[in-house]
Amino acid sequence: MINIPIPLLVLLLGGGVLPLIGLMAERLHVKWLREGWTILIQALALYSVYPLYREVRAAEGRILLKYLPGGAPPLGGCFEIDVLGVYMAGCISLLALLVAIYSTRYMEHEGRLTEFYTLFTLMNAGMVGVAMAGDFFTLFVFWEMMCISSYVLVSFMKHRPGPIEAGFKYFMMSATGSAFLLLSMSLLYGMTGTLNFAYASASLKAVEPTPWLLLLFTTLLIGFGIKSAIVPFHTWLPDAHPEAPGPISAMLSGIVIETGLYALTRVIYLTFPVSIFKPTFAALSVVTMTLANILALLQSDLKRMLAYSSISQIGYMLVGISTGTAYGLMGALLHIFNHSLMKGLAFLCAGSIVHQLGSREISEMRGLGRRMPFTSLSLSIALLGLGGVPTTNGFVSKFILFSSAIGAGMPILAVIGVLNSALSMAYYLRVIITLAARGEASAEEAPAIMVGISLLMALLIVIFGVWPQPVIRYADIASKCLLQGVGRYLSAVMGP
Amino acid sequence: MSQLYPLTQILIIPLAATPVVYLYARKMGRSAGYVAAIPLAYTLLLLLTLLPEAAKGVKHLESYTWAPSIGLTFGLLADGLSIWMMITINLLALLMSIYSVRYIDHRVKELFGGESPSTAYASYYALYLLYEVGMMGTVMSTNLIQFYLFYELMLVPSWLLINNYGYGDRERVGLLYFLWTHVGAVILLVGILSTYWITGSFEFSALSLIAAKPQAPFIVAAFLIGFLTKMAVFGLHLWLPDTYTQAPTSITALLSPAMSGIAPYAIVRFIVVPMYPVYQRFQPILVAWALITLIYGGLMSLAQDDVKRYLAYSSMSQMGYILLGVASMSTLGTSGAIFHYVSHGFGKCILFAVAGALLYRIGTLSISRMGGLADRMPVTATLTLLGIFTIAGVPPTSGFMSKWMIFAGVFDGPLSTSLMGISAATVILLMTVITIAYGLWIVKRIFFGPLAEGLEMVEDPPASMEAPLIILAVIAILVGLYPRIVSDCLFSALSALHV
């Protein structure tokens, strides 16, 4: 029997069956069949995350091991599920479920929907797989599953040249990133004779840095960095994210690039001592947030502006990751969850606006606040959250991130961070001002399902902003399990 | 009363009333201002019940757990230092919501023409209440993150109010206002986060632990930059004139008297009381800065032709007085600063509201196009004079008492032992002349002399705009006649500073 964690199994099987379901739906003219199936799959995946969490909590050392056929580590592939992986799977499935429901109306007039939903489900399966992979090889397989699905999804609207061009650029850059990952895999294998994280960690963690090790570090950074759009590897993102269909932009910005960041964090934290990556990450975070914020200020296209804002948010997360403390990691993980809600919502609302108005130019949205009040309200809440205004969840995680920088002895980084955050308000407010202004934009409010999802997410943003404790609790456990659980991790895999 | 959680009610009730007021305004339009006044009147009553205790130095505290794993509690505090801040904010918000009924009706009709959508009223009053909650929450906070939360929470609604209902290029001005104060606030946040890593707590009570640490001056500097931006002292004031001028007048009447004064309160609460020795090192800078602000604001206001711009610079100059009181480092001066916040709140609120009334009746704020209005608008003229007296410190208004306390503090306190202290005191005494001068001169230009052209038919504003101002003027005089109700509270909280 193939030993696969339940959420992943659900997504893989569900995604695999989707073409058949789609065929049935088309032949038998059953409306909503494949949409309903997709939603069901996503809901089941989300639902099965909690039992998995219970299972992980009950397991010895809080690590659940599932070996793939082909032998045990150090050679065979495996899943190593800890609270961190479950946390990521939860973030992914929650956003995916919301986006799936939203897509049913957003995409209803498009063709090739079976393709769309299949790719969507498989992309999520890829991400959940990345979150739970226990060795580099498994990670890479799911990584590519996520990447390839997303290439096609970005250029899904293939009747226009923009998405094709953006998709191609994305594909070229991301494939280069994957090539670097392969290179780093071969280096890792050459140095340690294994691809298993635990074994690699055991042999590398305490080693003095050698040129080869630094090469490994660099290739890893480039490989994962391209996917997570760390400046200077970000150039594909401002093209790809705006050109994708609305729900896909929400997924890409909301969780896909964060999955890249998660993978980077996981591998780097397991295999390198903090002192090696701390200055690099701190410098990258400064460059990422500053450059992205300045560029975002110059955009006139709403989705493109949001894309740059995603890059800057990656910069904030890097602040937390660069600290090397559990507190900073907790902030980064919390920000991944919060950002998935905020940026997901922002892109969904932008999608609704594009859907109704037919334009992405901010200047053409004057007066939209009166025509599409609920979408505008949700978008405003999402943008205020992204700017880190208190009572939204964005504030809670940002304050932990900047606080962690001070705690790790990098007050300058914290100052640069908060100033960036303050600067970023300028472009968020510009959108809100445009929506609130009086103007001629004529559009009707989006369909009920789309509005409903937007309002629900806006509500979640405020609820988790006022009462962050539940998410903080899980993020806290997850961060500790990455940082302090290395020993447990090793002993779970390699035996005592 | 204490078992009824009055402070929680003060925070929750206006918040809970927000949707009610919103929906009411959607149906009924402008009269929602009266509905918005109901919860504010109730909370004011609750505050008054707490007053006798606070005067005796009793602290009223309500606290809840919030997010324990990151060290957050949610506490609400009323003591001698904060009670009058809260009363002032609440009173002004209450009276201005009644004032807004006619005023914002006028503004909305100007903006939208005849159709004037009911959503415009609805969002005005909803944001208005949120703004009030933000200000009250800031003053009641017991820990730094909670303080920051409300500090920002009062920024967003006030920005939206300026952006949606302001005058001139209100969008640019709103952005200017938001970004300046936001940048100040995030620098404050860095200070707050640093204290957490030194003391392991966000509570105000932990701040005193920092005083002996080497990082203390940096933290105090970060706090000061944050607060002084909000206060708009010289150099950090670039947002102020435009914002106060272009904001809707009913909001300016809260921005200037109620909101910017929260900053000196926070300086007292965060820095002066817990970190007295560290603060001492900053004293010369603050005194000099206060004097520059005071003089610059005073002189600039002499040069203005627009009534609101004039008032904006005069606010800046008054903030100079308040800062000087805070910088005096004596019980009397610090109490005087908070007291002057109260008097300035009464006086400046009257004056801004009068500016709104002029705009309502005349349609312009240009002083050069006014004159001789005392015959046409006798009540407004009287109110203006009382407002000016309160600000300039003419007995028997409360302004006299508060300014007297500031001066006494400056002469009496540690400042007077140095040459700098003596010269500072001399300068401010001279400056009171300018304050009076710019105050009375504007009264002369607007209300006396020959009646300006085209103003023959002007009359006093409607009663709903006048009555709140009359109440304020009466309170200002009552407090001036019996200042102990304010000063007892302040002395009880600040007596520890006595030097």
CA atoms of B245 and B174, how far apart (whole Å): 11
Q: What's the complex ipTM? A: 0.89
What total number of domains does chain A contain?
1
Q: Could you tell me if B452 lies within 8 Å of chain A, comparing CB atoms?
A: no
Q: Taking an 8 Å Cβ-Cβ cutoff, which residues of chain A contact chain B?
A: 370, 373, 384, 389-391, 395-396, 399-400, 402-403, 406-407, 411, 414-415, 418-419, 421-422, 425-426, 429-430, 433, 436-438, 467-469, 472-473, 476
**A53-111 pLDDT tens trace:** 998 888 877 888 888 777 777 777 888 888 999 999 999 999 999 999 999 999 888 88
Decide if A418 and B194 are in contact by the 8 Å CB cutoff: no
Q: Which of B145, B149, B169 to mutate to test the interface with A (most CBs of A within 10 A)?
A: B149
State which amino acid sits at residue A345.
Answer: L
Residue A1 lies in a domain: no
Interchain CB contact of B189 with A (< 8 Å) = yes
Instruction: Tell me what the mean pLDDT of segment A393-416 comes to.
Output: 92
Of B164, B183, B197, the CB nearest to A422: B183
Mean pLDDT, residues A9-19: 92
The contacts of residue A481 (CB under 8 Å, 6+ apart) are A62, A82, A83, A84, A488
What is the per-residue pLDDT for A19?
92
Which of A169, A176, A142 is CA-nearest to residue A155? A169
SS3 A261: helix
What pLDDT was estimated at residue B497?
63
Any A CB within 8 A of B225 CB: no
Q: Looking up tokens 């405003």, which residue turns up?
A: A380
Diameter of chain B by CA atoms?
69
What angle, rounded to 10 degrees, do the helices at B155-165 and B118-140 form? Answer: 150
Amino acid at A444: E
**Which residue is closest to A472 within chain B, CA to CA?**
B69
Interface contact A469-B153, CB threshold 8 A: no
Contact map slice: B 71-130 vs A, CB within 8 A: 111-112, 117, 119
pLDDT of residue B22: 93
**The pLDDT of residue A150 is above 70:** yes
* Chain A partners within 8 Å of B178 (Cβ): 425, 429
Average pLDDT for runs of 10 along chain B of length 499: 76 93 88 91 92 84 82 85 91 93 88 79 92 93 90 91 90 92 92 88 85 87 92 89 91 88 90 85 88 89 89 91 87 89 92 90 86 87 91 85 86 71 79 82 87 81 90 91 87 70
What is the domain range of residue A422?
6-494
A-chain residue closest to B197, CA distance: A407
Q: Which of B11, B124, B163, B197 to mutate to test the interface with A (most CBs of A within 10 A)?
A: B197
* Residue type at position A283: A
Task: Choose from A323, A415, A433, A459 for mutation: most chain B CBs within 10 A.
Answer: A433
Nearest C-alpha in B relative to A387: B182
Residue A476 C-alpha from the chain's centroid: 19
- Taking CB atoms and an 8 Å limit, are A429 and B187 in contact across chains? no
> pTM of the full predicted structure?
0.92
State the nearest Cα–Cα gap between A425 and chain B, in angstroms. 7
Decide if pLDDT at A184 tops 50. yes
Per the CB < 8 A criterion, the answer to whether A105 and A449 are in contact is yes
Closest CA to B354 of B469, B232, B450: B469
Contact B210, B275 (CB under 8 A): yes
Nearest beta carbon to residue B197 from set A396, A406, A436: A406
From the list A418, A436, A438, the residue facing B189 with the nearest CB is: A418
pLDDT of residue A5: 87
Residues in chain A closer than 8 A to B189 (CB atoms): 399, 402, 418
**pLDDT > 90 in chain A, percent:** 63
B475 in A contact zone (CB under 8 Å): no
* Both tokens assigned to A288: 């990422």
At B87 the pLDDT is 93
What is the pLDDT averaged over residues A432-437?
89
Kindly tell me if the per-residue pLDDT of A1 is higher than 50: no
Residues of B in contact with A390 (CB under 8 A): 148-150, 152-153
Which of A314-328, A378-392, B318-332 shows the lowest per-residue confidence on average (mean pLDDT)?
Answer: B318-332
Most confidently predicted of A23-27, A338-342, B202-206: A338-342
**Closest Cβ opposite residue B149 in set A390, A436, A438:** A390
Residue B148 near chain A (CB below 8 Å): yes
Both structure tokens of B309: 């711009």
Rounded to the nearest angstrom, the minimum Cα separation between A316 and chain B is: 15
Residue A334 forms part of a structural domain: yes
Q: Residue B416: what pLDDT?
A: 67
Confidence band (pLDDT; 50, 70, 90) for A487?
confident
**DSSP three-state, residue A279:** helix
- What SS3 class is residue A67? strand
Please name the residue of chain A whose CA is at the shortest distance from the CA of residue B118.
A370
* Max CA pair span of chain A: 70
Give the residue with greater pLDDT, B73 vs A181.
Answer: A181
Give the chain A residue whose CA is nearest to the CA of B147.
A390
Sign, Cα dihedral of A179, A184, A188, A191: positive
Q: How distant is the Cα of B49 from the closest Cα of chain A, in angstroms?
A: 29
The size of chain B, in residues, is 499
**A389 CA to chain B: closest CA distance, Å?**
7
pLDDT at A13: 92
**Span A386-402, mean pLDDT?**
91
A482-492 as b/e: b if 16+ CB within 10 A = bbebbeebbeb
What average pLDDT does range A366-379 have in this prediction? 90
The domains of chain B are located at: 2-497
Collapse the DSSP code of A65 into the 3-class scheme (helix H, G, I; strand E, B; otherwise coil) and give the result: strand
Please state, in angstroms and rounded to a whole number, the distance separating the CA atoms of residues B272 and A194.
Answer: 61
Q: Which residues in chain B are closer than 8 Å to A438, comparing Cβ atoms?
A: 111-112
Determine, for residues B193 and A391 on separate chains, whether the beta-carbon distance falls below 8 Å.
no
The closest of B271, B295, B283, B264 to B431, measured between CA atoms, is B295
Do the chains contact at A429 and B175, CB–CB below 8 Å? yes
Q: Do A395 and B149 touch (CB under 8 A)?
A: yes
